[in-house]
Amino acid sequence: MPFNRSMPLFAIFLVTSVLVGLVLPANAEIVALVEPHNGITYYDTDNMPKQAAMASSSLTAHGITFNITYADNGTNLGFDDPSEGTARKAALEGALTYIADVINATGTLDVEVRTSLDNNGISTLASAGTFYTTSNGFFDGATFIRINSGTKPFPGTPEISMQVNWGYSFNVSNDPPGAGIFDLLSLLVHELTHGLGFTSLIKSDGTSEFQIDHGTATFTSLDILLFRRTTPTYLLAGNPPSLQGNVADLIGGDIAFDGSTATSNYGSAPPIYAPNPYSGGSSMSHWDTGTIVGNPIMKHSIPPGVSRRTYAPVDVGALIDMGYTNASTAGVPSPTLTAISGEGEGEGEGEKPKDPVACGVASSMESTLWGDGMMFVGVLLLLIHLSRRNNQAQRASA
Ligand SMILES: [Zn+2]
């Protein structure tokens, strides 16, 4: 075989193939945990803690069984706090029970509660999210996929992963929060709704949050319904999806949600949070706090002393539009602590109820597996994904 210019590439391909075979098991997949208030974390599905073996407790409510893993167990911290741990877990179970009642579906979900934080030096009170495949297109998150299909999409990963920062003062009772106290039930319902898939992957430049670290135009079932209200244009379209308007649209305060049920429930297309400057983690993933009417859960912030525990019709409409078609609040009580009641106002360890921020605004790209030493492997993985992407099932774009 005569030498030609393709030889070096062919040799690289051969070496790459051998190395990939050594590095990645055949069914390995890179998935991403997307938490609006924490950022993106990539995982190799073959390198995850085994959820079933770690499950700390199980809760069955309104047709859904939640297998809950508490990383705090045995530490006397956070959800294992000797005086408040029971009430904190009861609040989480109360929030999950409420959500199960609203979405009115059957199935099983694995919920991972990561090691708690205790840091009032950061604005994030809590974060939660679900997992997404890393391919080009619009995708549902793992929570919806498992509820909808009955099949766990990413074996080895939970469907919802969450974390609470106890560095602030939280109300852990069924009573309303006092002045300067954040309401835990309100916070948890908000965060877990991100865990249902109420989240955007649109970055400030209009590309996907996955674009730089993973090279894919991956977007969500919320993103597909976002549009510019003036001269109506969907923000994203095409295959792979790309920004259809201008980057200025993302900070123009003129974005709305095109879901038919949310629009019907609200009376018009509900406004999406799109401030200037772009607020990573808050922009696109919430209702427009300043203009949305009513008191929906999915505003981007909540002040201390305020209780916001129950979905507004616009919240439920959005869940229906994103695929939870049985969702309804008819006959559904507000969330309460499930195991105890009337304990009075709980106290966090912090004394600093700072900004009226529900769950923080930081959004940084985080990569637990892709450190500098993994750069070469990263290139190999990218090659694999490029070859795979035509075979990946995708939702049709708008
Ligand atoms: Zn949020």
Beta strand 218-220 with 182-183 is: unpaired
Per the confidence metrics, is the pTM higher than 0.85?
Answer: no
How many angstroms separate the alpha carbon of residue 223 from the centre of ligand 1? 15
Residue (of 92, 362, 375) closest to 213 by Cα position: 375
How many angstroms separate the alpha carbon of residue 191 from the centre of ligand 1? 6
Amino acid at 263: T
Taking a 5 Å cut-off on Cβ, the residues next to ion ligand 1 are 359
- Return the axis-axis angle of helices 375-388 and 6-23, rounded to nearest 10°: 100
Query: Which helix (H) or strand (E) covers residue 193, if one does?
Result: helix 184-196
How many angstroms separate the alpha carbon of residue 160 from the centre of ligand 1? 14
Residue (of 164, 87, 77) closest to 120 by Cα position: 164
Rounded CA separation 135/222 (Å): 16
Neighbouring C-alpha atoms within 13 Å toward the C-beta of 313? 13
Query: pLDDT 10s per residue in the chain (398 long)?
Result: 333 334 344 444 444 444 433 444 445 688 999 999 888 988 887 776 555 446 689 999 999 999 999 999 999 999 999 999 999 999 999 999 999 999 999 999 999 999 999 999 988 899 999 999 999 999 999 999 999 999 999 988 999 999 999 999 999 999 999 999 999 999 999 999 999 999 999 999 999 999 998 999 999 999 999 999 998 999 999 999 999 989 999 999 999 999 999 999 999 999 999 999 999 999 999 999 999 999 999 999 989 999 999 999 999 999 999 999 999 999 999 999 986 443 333 443 333 333 444 454 322 222 222 222 233 333 334 444 444 443 433 333 32
CB atoms within 10 A of CB 67: 20
- Give the phi and the psi of residue 167 in degrees, each rounded to 5: -75, 0
How many angstroms separate the alpha carbon of residue 275 from the centre of ligand 1? 15
Coil, strand, or helix at residue 40? strand
Residue (of 213, 363, 389) closest to 282 by Cα position: 363
Q: What angle do CA 95, 100, 104 make, to 5 degrees?
A: 150
